[in-house]
Amino acid sequence: MSCPARQLSPHEPFRAGHGPHAVPVIADRGDDAWVVLVHFPRPPRIGDRFTFDHTAWQVVREGDHTRGYVAQPAARPTHGSSA
Residue-wise pLDDT for 35-79, tens only, equals 999 999 999 999 999 999 899 999 999 988 889 999 999 987 656
Between strands 21-28 and 33-40, the pairing is: antiparallel
42, 43, 74: which is closest to 60 by C-alpha?
74
Q: Within a 10 A sphere around the Cβ of 47, how many other Cβ atoms?
A: 9
Taking the C-alpha atoms of residue 79 and residue 83, their distance in angstroms, rounded to an integer, is 11
> pLDDT digits over 7-38, tens only?
445 556 688 888 899 999 999 999 999 999 99
pTM given for the model: 0.74
